[in-house]
Structure 1
Amino acid sequence: MIVKFLYDKGLRSHHAYSVACLSIGLSVASWVTSLEVEPGGVDRADRWGTFVATWPATWFGLGQALAQYERAEG
């Protein structure tokens, strides 16, 4: 139901895969930025990196669901 809604709104599997790949880079960037800027040290940087690192799996999973829906539609 959610996948159909997103598909009808124009989201395709390649969009989700692109966001997943970008969020991997964002995870590394947030870790480095937190390490350099915030006074919390490595512990705080690790928490930021881990938090953002959960996003790629979500987007890859959504991409898989959309790809299956696209095959069923096509």
Structure 2
Amino acid sequence: MLKKLHDMGLRSDHCYMAGFASIALSFGCWLASKQFEKGAEIDRADRWGIFVGEWAPTFIALGNGLQSYEK
């Protein structure tokens, strides 16, 4: 699967950038949910942040795997 992604043009740098963007987006989702959904409980904001934040390790792991094809 990683070889196919690499052959399609996906590079480790792309995955690393997506991982860090996911961390920033996680914080943004948490903050937006907390600010704009005043009637909802804080748990809902936390769930949004955690949901998006779980993408970061996946992107970083893909980046690590793709890096072996770039050497």
Shorter-chain TM-score bucket reads: over 0.9
Taking only the aligned residue pairs, the percentage that are identical comes to: 46
Unaligned runs of 5+ in 2: none
User: How far apart, CA to CA, are the structure 1 residues paired with 2:48 and 2:40?
Assistant: 11
Structure 2 counterpart SS, 1:14: helix
- The letter of the residue matching 2:23 is I
Greater relative contact order (Cα < 8 A, sep 6+): 2
Cα distance per residue 1:23-48 (max 9 Å; x no partner)? 11000000000001123121100000
Corresponding residue for 2:7? Answer: 8
Corresponding residue for 2:67? Answer: 67
Moved more, 35-44 or 15-24: 35-44
Structure 2 counterpart SS, 1:11: coil
User: How far apart, CA to CA, are the structure 1 residues paired with 2:9 and 2:41?
Assistant: 41
Corresponding residue for 1:53? Answer: 53
User: TM (normalized to structure 1)?
Assistant: 0.89
Aligned length: 70
RMSD across aligned C-alpha pairs, in angstroms?
Answer: 0.8
